[in-house]
Chains A and B, each alone.
Chain A
Amino acid sequence: MKCQTAVVYERTVDDRTLTLGNLRVLVDRAMAMYDTETGSSWNQATGIAIAGHFTGTQLNAIPAATTSLGAWLSSYPNSGVLAPTAKFTRSQRIRIWDPSEADRMLLLVRAGDAARAYPLTRFPESGLLLDVLGGEPIAILFGRQPKVLAVYSRRVGDDVIELDARPVTEDIELLERGGRRRWSAVSGRSRPLRSARPLRVLSSVPIERIGFEHNFAEVEVYGGPLPPLAERRSGTNATVPSPVMPAAPLDEDEQRGGAPGIPSPSAPPSTPAPPPSGGDATGGCR
């Protein structure tokens, strides 16, 4: 199950810090998560609890950038990096930068209460798309070389600025049109540092089209409704259900909350709240 929907959530809800896990089941073509504290099940794409104590509650999404490590470290040289494990693998194809998958991936952007989805096929060659979402002027960067995915507000102080994009070493520079200010597309920080206010990062979620259509039917699509998907070769169809959900092996020393079936003293329900109808263990994500 590889939904490739990159979202970072704050996992404190009502002053309770939750420990989230992968329930290894799909709900509405999105990964279902589970928290050990209340046994609630959560839709990973929307962040909304679908069963259990927190039903209807939504996790707060934290702005994050998806990019290469080199680009990230060029903006944050002192950044920590999650250490690899023995099972660390680079074999996974990242679909968002795979040209053959462009018609199946969208970028969901939120600004305040407003949301809009941007099909990757509708980005200009430069990768920089300027728009206004819910009254907020925004800049969406889907850079292919170097790979950078980030969304910013174009409101800097009292100014609303237009931007152009220019690739530089390990980054893409956002240039103020008709001005002299420059920012890193990875971090939103000015270049050179502190020469201007940083750009405000907005929440963005790369999401597969089938997951988007199941979970965000009410969200407007930039450029109008999506055309029907073209037929794919057998073996690459994302809707082919897998008969058995692969259960990835665990790193024992990384496992928390007790081994499955042996609840730790603090781990409450040993049985996850079953996802509501619509949950399945079949395809949609690969």
Chain B
Amino acid sequence: MQWSAILVAAALRQEPPAPEPPLPDTQRRAPAPRRQDRRLGHPPTFVEPREVIGRVAAQRAGIGGDELVIGVQIGDVARAYPIARIALDEVMNDTVDNVAIAVTW
């Protein structure tokens, strides 16, 4: 298409069409899925933990002792995944003690 555009422009003695300037980052995001796509399940989501905190920080963050969690212990590492967080995306990719796991709900 570009070559044909250049040839046409040369034939007409006009400047070839300038390439479109790159979109700013805020506009480069994929368009919102169409209704049809959403019904088909697109787009999939891929989520990894943003932050893992200790018990004190968890309390400060408002995660109480009654919060239901999925608990995993691998090797010497234990990790708790609040169900209220996992349920948002339903799949959480993580690595615990060098074992790649997916916590699913």
Contacts and interface: CB of A to CB of B under 8 A. Distances in A.
A187 B73 contact: yes
A25 B64 CA distance: 32
B66 A70 contact: yes
Interface stretch (A8-16, A101-109, A116-124, A212-220): A8-16
Contact of B61 (A33, A66, A83, A97): A83
A1 B90 CA distance: 9
Interface of A is mostly: loop
A245 B38 contact: yes
A80 B91 contact: no
Contact of B91 (A17, A33, A94): A33
Given A80-B54, A84-B62, A24 B44 contact: yes
Given A8-B103, A88-B84, A247-B33, A69 B72 contact: no
A283 B33 CA distance: 21
A65 B67 CA distance: 14
A230 interface: no
Interface stretch (A50-58, A130-138, A172-180, A259-267): A259-267
A22 interface: yes
B10 interface: no
Given A12-B100, A76-B78, A261 B85 contact: no
Nearest to B28: A262
Interface of B: 28-31, 33, 35, 38-55, 57-58, 61-74, 77-93, 99-105
Interface of A: 1-12, 17-25, 31-34, 36, 44, 59, 62, 64-73, 76-85, 87-90, 92, 94, 97, 147, 170, 186-187, 244-245, 247-248, 250-251, 253-257, 259-262, 272, 281
